[in-house]
Structure 1
Amino acid sequence: MRAYAARAQGYHEAMTPTLVPEVVHHAANAAGRDFVIGDLHGCVDPLRYLLHKVAFDGTRDRLFSVGDLVDRGDQCEQALALLDKPWFYPVLGNHEDSLCAVVDGRLARHRWYGIGGGWSQALPERSLAAHAKRLRELPLVRTVGEGAARFNVLHAEFFGDDVELDAGQFDTAVRERMLWGRELALSAGAPPHRALSLTYCGHTPVRELRQIGSQMFIDTGAFIPEGRLTLVEAMTPRHWSISVQAARAMGAADMALP
């Protein structure tokens, strides 16, 4: 995992910020439940299984995503199709940002292929451009609810508090940390105490859910052979995980999404 982190770190340096709505706030869900899913990386079958497992109701429940819908797995276009679902609320991940960078001419295709973008080789340019257009609309942060019931969703890590997060004034260094940072997840200690609500993050694969300070890391490596996709019910200790192989063995491919 550290080797993977080191490889990925080298690809962000030439990237410049993409114009996106940085922070989107959502009211608390009074009608149903809120869930957060770890990095999908083109692994939609385990998502199908997990939503079926928790009896997800698309008319009342919401699914937030820590980003990295694409690359690595074999169902990247199916993952992008989730953007059409009214119950699905992702943030921008570094892999979506990389796709946009390729379309914008900020990143060479072969460098994207090196971190998992090879699935797009057969895609017409117009299709990739259409995906980038939609991905540019994703925020860096989603905040949900207020006060003690509030939680945040972002991709990698954030060293600040709720006030700074809400302001959305992220310079280039902070933005790169939010998309690519691994310092917190790979360190032994927590950052200084800050008034940051529970914040769900992905990006750095962990064997089990890991909370450091206010940040909960939920990427359990769905694309890794020994990894799993993890679904968390927000603001509760409840979570569910399954591997791609196990989900497919349970018939996940035939389970309809809400």
Structure 2
Amino acid sequence: MLIEHEANIRGRDFFVGDIHGQHRLLQEAMRRVGLDPATDRLFSVGDLIDRGTDSLVCLSLASRPWFHAVRGNHEELARSALREGEDSTAWALWMINGGGWVARSGVGEVRKILDEALRHLPHAREIAIAGKRVGMVHAEPPADWSRLADADPETLVWGRARIQRRDETPVAGVDAVVVGHTIVERPLTLGNVHYIDTGAFCTGHLTLVDARELLG
């Protein structure tokens, strides 16, 4: 459910929004900030795949030592589809939501890379940054971070209730939380929750931000 990260004493930390197979945009964003994989860390809010042509490459990032993602709803769509097969409702749902790239990459190869990636994709991460505790989930955090173990995994991966009601109530038990899932025109903060999915697959704008800048 949760992986915890100690402070990075060797370099910087960055957060990136939903990548959705946009590997070129990711590389460009990393070059702009001079991200050094030898010392810096990149924390991804999930949805590495679907709707983009380089989904397999982006999915393989999950096993890189400098790249730390959480599980998104599109990883869950793919997992269900590959488990239930091409004649299933789950497969049809994945195709509707951008899974067509599997035909180019090959089902066997996608299954292999996804199985490996899921080993590195918890539902939540907690990172020590500048003396603060920062949580990260794909979609919606619990009201109290200390109750994360009791949270519904589906809400963590699919939920939108907080942003739909523009809830500015801070998540208790943590200094800040970073999420993606819901496309915003520009990064948005409600309470202590930072929304950073700026719709790379449709806007061409992938948000990649220094953690210290995000936290002000």
Task: Report the TM-score, using the length of structure 2 for normalisation.
Answer: 0.90
Question: Which amino acid letter does the alignment assign opposite residue 143 of structure 1?
Answer: E
Shift of 1:86: 1.6
Helix, strand or coil at the partner of 1:83: helix
- Counterpart of 1:160? 143
In 2, distance between residues paired with 1:192 and 1:63? 24
Q: Which of structure 1's runs of 4+ aligned residues deviate more than 6 A?
A: none
Alignment match of 2:125 (pick from 124, 142, 156): 142
Helix, strand or coil at the partner of 1:150: strand
Helix, strand or coil at the partner of 1:195: coil
User: 1:5-54: per-residue Cα shift (whole Å, max 9, x none)?
Assistant: xxxxxxxxxxxxxxxxx100011101110001000001111111111111
Shift of 1:238: 8.5
Helix, strand or coil at the partner of 1:73: coil
Percent identical pairs in the alignment equals 34
Instruction: Give the number of equivalent residue pairs.
Output: 212
- Counterpart of 1:188? 166
User: 1:95-135: per-residue Cα shift (whole Å, max 9, x none)?
Assistant: 00111111221853121100111111234332122123123
- Counterpart of 1:132? 114
In 1, distance between residues paired with 2:146 and 2:131? 14
- Counterpart of 1:200? 178
Helix, strand or coil at the partner of 1:235: helix
Shift of 1:150: 1.5
Question: Which amino acid letter does the alignment assign opposite residue 79 of structure 2?
Answer: C
Shift of 1:192: 6.2
Judge conservation of contact 2:178–2:196 (CA < 8 Å) in 1. yes
Shift of 1:148: 4.4
Judge conservation of contact 2:21–2:52 (CA < 8 Å) in 1. yes
Distance change (3 Å), C-alpha of 1:96 and 1:214: same
Structure 1 residue runs of 5 or longer lacking an equivalent are 1-21, 240-258
User: 1:129-167: per-residue Cα shift (whole Å, max 9, x none)?
Assistant: 2123123311001101279421111100112223123xx
Alignment match of 2:6 (pick from 16, 24, 27): 27
Task: Report the TM-score, using the length of structure 1 for normalisation.
Answer: 0.76
Alignment match of 1:169 (pick from 150, 154, 157): 150
- Counterpart of 1:95? 74
In 1, distance between residues paired with 2:129 and 2:25? 31
Helix, strand or coil at the partner of 2:182: coil
Structure 2 residue runs of 5 or longer lacking an equivalent are none
In 2, distance between residues paired with 1:23 and 1:120? 29
Question: Which amino acid letter does the alignment assign opposite residue 163 of structure 2?
Answer: A
Question: Which amino acid letter does the alignment assign opposite residue 78 of structure 2?
Answer: L
Alignment match of 2:51 (pick from 63, 66, 72): 72
In 2, distance between residues paired with 1:42 and 1:36? 16
User: 1:151-203: per-residue Cα shift (whole Å, max 9, x none)?
Assistant: 111100112223123xx233xxx211110111112223323662332111000
- Counterpart of 1:252? none
Alignment match of 1:216 (pick from 194, 202, 206): 194
